Amino acid sequence: MSDMLEMAALILVAIAIYGWRHRILAALQRFDANNIARRREEMRDRQDRLAHYKHTLRLAEEQVETIQEIAARDERTAMAVTRYVFEGVTYATREEAQGARQESIVAKARDFYVELPAALARRGDGKLGN
C-alpha cells in the first residue's frame, strides 16, 4: 500500500512540475542570462583600469538612501507641488536632490579610499590578495 502512495505522490509531483514548466524554465533562463551578463562584465572589468572605482561607486550607491517624492503646498501660491526629500532635506527639483545624492555617494566612496590604507596595513603587508 505504501508503494502505491509513494507512486501516486511521485506522479502528482511530476504533474505539478509539468504544469509549472514554463515558470521553471523562465526562471532558469533568467538565471542563465544573469550569469552570462556577470561574466561579460568581469571580462570588461579585466581590461578597464577604472573598474575598481566603478564597483566602489556602485556599492556606495546601494548604501545611500533613495530620493523620496512628496506632495506639498507651495509656500507662496498654496498650490499643490511635488517636492523631493533626500536625507531629511527637501529640494524643489529632482535635479537638486539627485545632485545631493550623487555628492553623498561620492563622499561615501571617497571615505572608503581614505580608510583603505589603514585597512591594508592592519591586514599585514599592505598588498591586496595576501
pLDDT tens profile 17-64: 998 999 999 999 999 999 999 999 889 888 888 888 888 999 999 999
Instruction: Please check the confidence at residue 2 and state whether its pLDDT lies above 90.
Output: no
Average pLDDT, the chain: 88
How far apart (Å, rounded) are the C-alpha atoms in residues 54 and 59?
9
Look at residue 52 in the predicted model and tell me its pLDDT. Answer: 87
State the alpha helices, DSSP H only, in the chain: 2-19, 21-47, 51-63, 94-123
104-117 pLDDT per residue, tens: 999 999 999 888 88
Task: Please report, to the nearest 10 degrees, the dihedral formed by the alpha carbons of residues 43, 48, 52, 58 taken in order.
Answer: -80
Look at residue 126 in the predicted model and tell me its pLDDT. Answer: 53
> Is 87:100 a contact under the CB 8 Å cutoff?
yes
Q: Does the global pTM surpass 0.95?
A: no
